[in-house]
Amino acid sequence: MGIEKVESTYFQHKGKDFFAFPYKKGKDKGESYYDENGKALKSMFLKAPLDFFRISSRFSARRFHPVQGRWKAHNGTDYAAPHGTPIKTTAAGVVERTGYTAGNGNYVKVRHNSTYSTQYLHMSKILVKKGQYVSQGQIIGKVGSTGLATGPHVCYRFWKNGVQVDPFRQNLPNAEPMEEGERKKYLEYIKPYKKELDSILKVKFNQ
């Protein structure tokens, strides 16, 4: 549409007003959208670590392992995709571990906060290092079939309070809230944009 940069946004849905302002905070590499009170408008987690995929195996307490040939728990979700497909971290955090094991192949584990961690297995290539901060959606590796794998895919594992769980069954939070100091800076930053939107809306609804 020829719009290079969005400074502020307003829309109405089911009679409710919504404001959104792009803002870059802390270590984030790019801008995210927040409302007029500093609340994040996106989920803390992406729905999947790949843009294009096919779910080939879901989280299950009992699954027949195609390589080991026996029934066992599958504590992850398998996303099949072509070899070399970029793998993205589903939430911002710090790379807790990278490496290789006979079962997991090349893998990366990211700690998002004191509650949540995620792990990405069977990579053909690892693109991050231990201790590195990663933003949501950042490419951390490439799809492969290293370790116990019959074809190229990423096994996505999700931890909550140290226990592996099915992410599809979780009521996942919005993005991490702003710290109070950051929130004060944000509210000051959006003040002129919010004032401008309010003046436009006042004229519109008084017509």
For residue range 78-119, list pLDDT tens digits in order: 999 999 999 999 999 999 999 999 989 999 999 999 999 999
Closest to 142 measured CA to CA, from 182, 101, 86, 192: 86
Closest to 119 measured CA to CA, from 151, 97, 143, 134: 97
Residue 144's DSSP bridge partners are: 153
d(C-alpha 95, C-alpha 138), whole Å: 12
d(C-alpha 2, C-alpha 199), whole Å: 24
- Structure tokens, 75: 């504590």
Number of Cβ atoms within 10 Å of the Cβ of 193: 16
d(C-alpha 26, C-alpha 114), whole Å: 18
In tens, the pLDDT along 2-32 reads: 667 888 888 888 888 889 999 988 767 678 8
